[in-house]
Chain A
Amino acid sequence: MPVVGEVVNACNMMNLTSIMSFNLAWNVEIVAQFYATLYVDRATKTFYWTIQGKSFHVEYAYFASILGFPENDLTREKIHEVENVLDDGELHFMYDSAYGDIKFGTVHGLTPYYKLLNQLFHYTLCPKRGDSDNISNMSKNLLARMAPNKNEFSIFDFIWEEIIICSVSPKKGCHYAPYIFAMIKEVTGVNILTDKSHQVYKPKKDQLE
């Protein structure tokens, strides 16, 4: 399966391997309180929230360092700043009729490289509930950025902006729980007990073919 090697190499090139292998159990209630009380100061790039009625805040750069992002990640191109959500038709280069009937904006007809990437992003950088056949919103942009010879982009900024979008979208759930919980533990200095484990994605061989 050469495609697995290709995907691993591409993730390495784009500096995604570290954050995608990040593993931390979390507490659902703590993450829920974070999303319910989150306020973002755009000018100072700061998150404000409360846990059990106590107020906390974290700056952009500090949050990034907690998740292990190097400083140069923050200076890279920011997808949410320079791009709108891509139209389905703009994803044409990811499809091939050899892999089934093509439906742009879905997983039908995706080449194995993008299909595997989409599977991996589905559980990590673009978590999603509901119809897993659709490629939604900024997942399209993220996949398109994984094309060969594309410039590196700021992964932390992608996560930061997606957290903000989730916090004001009633239909979306609480995304990035492990990352948020890691940050809250660091900021509060409390080793908060968890009730949800962070599982490891272990696809079977036939799922990757």
Chain B
Amino acid sequence: MACEKRGKQRAASLEIESPQSSDSKATEDSPIAHRTGKRKAVAKAPFRSRGRGRPNAQGTSAHGNRPRIKHASAPGSHMADAGESLEYLERIILRMQPAIRAAGMHYNGVRPVDYTKGKRDIYAEWCDNPAEYIQEQQGDVHFWINFHADWYDSVILSKSHPTIEMKSINWDYLLNMICR
């Protein structure tokens, strides 16, 4: 019963408060609104919560009628429908990003391995044809097995410039230098 009462009280208070907050004209016309005490109460609300312009009559809360923000898609989700084809690589420039690990770090006791530390027999860990392996990596688009994801994260991604700078030789340019 106490709960019901509380609910009813809440409902009643809503009915009273909502016209004041939803319709600014009504508050302007009301003599109560001109009292300084009320103004002080309104001024306590932070500026950022007040919004601008004329409030919408249907609005019931500060966030109710704001336009929805379109959230960016999750990394890799634009390739989710790519299937077997890589043709989307003609339209999208791939950028480096850490391997996505859907399974928690402690899942099955498998932790990411840092291949830059310690001595390891890479040849022993080197895997056979990746196409013949069962997918270990869950949630990652580009790696199937943990070894590849760990190697990518610890060895390749840790470098400021993963690919070594290369330049091509313009032989004509070199030969012209002799003549100069």
Contacts and interface: CB of A to CB of B under 8 A. Distances in A.
Given A53-B142, A128-B164, A173 B159 contact: yes
B144 A50 contact: yes
Interface in B143-180: 143-144, 148-149, 151-152, 154-157, 159, 161-171, 173-175, 177-178, 180
A120 B169 contact: yes
Nearest to A202: B173
A1 interface: yes
Given A32-B163, A174-B156, A192-B89, A23 B168 contact: yes
Contacts, number: 176
Contacts of B131: 48, 50, 55
A131 interface: no
Contacts of B156: 32, 35-36, 174
B175 A8 contact: yes
Interface residues of B, number: 54
Contacts of B140: 53
Contacts of A192: 86, 89-90, 94
A31 B168 contact: no
B177 A4 contact: yes
A35 B178 CA distance: 40
Contacts of A128: 164
A5 interface: yes
A37 B130 contact: yes
Central interface residue in B131, B141, B142, by most chain A CB within 10 Å: B142
Interface of A: 1-2, 4-5, 7-8, 17, 20-23, 26-33, 35-37, 39, 41, 48-55, 57, 120, 123-124, 127-129, 168, 170-171, 173-178, 188, 190-196, 198-202, 205, 208
